[in-house]
């Protein structure tokens, strides 16, 4: 088996809050283990509030995880000091959801794209800096002429292309794209998705693509991990997962994918924009209260994530 680019082991992040005079837990990331292979796109899907962005932030070290390991080519990012972690982020880059908030309005496009390289001194001189910035902007379909522009001069789609150029300039081992098209018009979404696919093929990029939109994930992903309340409930290659989902939550999410004819929408489907309760269930399966297949066992015993066939893992007693 080839070396993994990213190996996440038993990652946890718990927030403790007071509600109704009681201390409650929100398990944003609940014992997640995932592996990302070289050159693949791993889709991460689930409803709003299921832990997708919390997982990304914990991987990047933007939020400190409570337990677990995040191994990037064998190095545990969670054990690095602040300076070493910042350096490691050259190899694991992020494209953010909001193209308007992710760029500093006071910095030119060129300065934003070169930011990580400037901080870590990866350019030999200003000529190399200009060359690398121009190449990154060319790769995302903008061109070097955009280097002197400012964010207010760009459309939303152009800003997201700048964000992608900024991510790929250091030639990272992994790019995490967190809802990268959700703030864009539908026509622009398709262009950005096509761009990511082209960059993956041309540069050999490895992607973790996070979205609540399953139709988008189906187009771009090689494998898909489905999250519910901070847990992975199903992992499988994309085509088998969408053709024959084995976890009832996955099935309901797929039924909710918009169809051209609204009358064909299946009753009982889950709305991915409508989050479940964020508070941790103390026992049993976390999906028990919403599950159409639940039995008495589901109320008391939490199912483990198990391999039911090659490359297919499901957390359900009845899969």
179/166 same-domain check: no
Give 1-31 pLDDT, tens digit per residue.
Answer: 458 999 999 999 999 887 777 778 889 999 9
56/164 same-domain check: no
201/80 same-domain check: yes
What is the predicted pLDDT for the residue at 3?
85
What does the block give as tokens for 161? 């292309």
What percent of the chain is predicted at pLDDT more than 90?
79
165/188 same-domain check: no
- For the cut 90, the answer to whether the pLDDT of residue 270 exceeds it is no
How confident is residue 271, by pLDDT bands cut at 50, 70 and 90? low
69 located within any domain: yes
Angle at 223 (CA atoms; ends 75, 38), nearest 5 degrees: 35
- For the cut 80, the answer to whether the pLDDT of residue 276 exceeds it is no
Mean pLDDT, rounded, of the chain = 91
- For the cut 80, the answer to whether the pLDDT of residue 168 exceeds it is yes
158/222 same-domain check: no
113/118 Cα distance (integer angstroms): 10
- For the cut 90, the answer to whether the pLDDT of residue 278 exceeds it is no
187/164 same-domain check: no
78/226 same-domain check: yes
150/203 same-domain check: no
What is the mean pLDDT of the segment spanning 164-189?
A: 93
Give 290-308 pLDDT, tens digit per residue.
Answer: 999 999 999 999 999 999 9
Domain assignment of residue 147, given as a range: 106-171
Question: How are beta strands 223-228 and 231-237 bridged, if at all?
Answer: antiparallel
How confident is residue 283, by pLDDT bands cut at 50, 70 and 90? confident
What is the predicted pLDDT for the residue at 23?
79
What is the predicted pLDDT for the residue at 18?
77
287 located within any domain: no
What is the predicted pLDDT for the residue at 48?
87
Closest CA to 164 of 188, 141, 187: 141
Please identify, among 133, 155, 171, the residue that sits at the C-terminal boundary of a domain: 171
What is the mean pLDDT of the segment spanning 185-200?
A: 93
274/186 same-domain check: yes
What's the residue count for the chain? 319
Provide the sign of the torsion angle of the four alpha carbons 248, 254, 257, 261, taken in this order. negative
98 located within any domain: no
DSSP run (H or E) holding 313: strand 312-314
What is the predicted pLDDT for the residue at 1?
43
What is the mean pLDDT of the segment spanning 240-258?
A: 93
What is the predicted pLDDT for the residue at 282?
65
150 located within any domain: yes
Give 103-144 pLDDT, tens digit per residue.
Answer: 999 999 999 999 999 999 999 999 999 999 999 999 999 999
Structural domains of the chain, count:
2
């Amino acid at each position: 088996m080839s070396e993994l680019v990213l190996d996440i082991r038993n990652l946890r992040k718990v927030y403790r809050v007071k509600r109704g005079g009681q201390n409650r837990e929100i398990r944003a990331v609940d014992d997640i283990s995932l592996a990302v292979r070289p050159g693949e796109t791993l889709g991460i899907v689930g409803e709003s509030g299921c832990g997708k962005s919390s997982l990304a932030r914990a991987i990047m070290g933007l939020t400190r995880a409570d337990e677990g390991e995040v191994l990037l080519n064998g190095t545990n990012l969670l054990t690095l000091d602040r300076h070493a972690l910042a350096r490691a982020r050259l190899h694991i880059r992020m494209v953010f959801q909001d193209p308007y908030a992710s760029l500093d309005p006071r910095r030119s496009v060129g300065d934003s794209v070169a930011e990580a390289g400037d901080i870590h001194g990866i350019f030999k001189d200003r000529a190399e800096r200009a060359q690398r910035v121009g190449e990154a902007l060319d790769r995302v379909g903008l061109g070097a002429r955009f280097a002197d522009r400012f964010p207010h001069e760009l459309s939303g789609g152009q800003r997201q292309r700048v964000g992608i150029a900024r991510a790929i300039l250091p030639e990272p081992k992994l790019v995490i794209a967190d809802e990268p098209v959700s703030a864009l018009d539908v026509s622009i979404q398709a262009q950005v998705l096509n761009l990511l696919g082209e960059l993956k093929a041309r540069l050999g990029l490895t992607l973790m693509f996070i979205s609540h939109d399953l139709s988008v994930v189906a187009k771009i992903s090689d494998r898909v991990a489905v999250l519910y309340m901070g847990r992975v409930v199903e992992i499988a290659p994309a085509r088998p997962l969408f053709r024959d989902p084995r976890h009832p939550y996955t099935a309901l999410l797929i039924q909710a994918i918009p169809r051209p004819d609204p009358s064909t929408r299946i009753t009982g489907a889950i709305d991915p924009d409508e989050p479940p309760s964020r508070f941790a269930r103390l026992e049993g399966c976390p999906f028990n209260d919403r599950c159409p297949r639940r039995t008495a066992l589901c109320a008391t015993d939490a199912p483990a994530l198990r391999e039911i066939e090659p490359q297919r893992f499901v957390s359900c007693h009845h899969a």
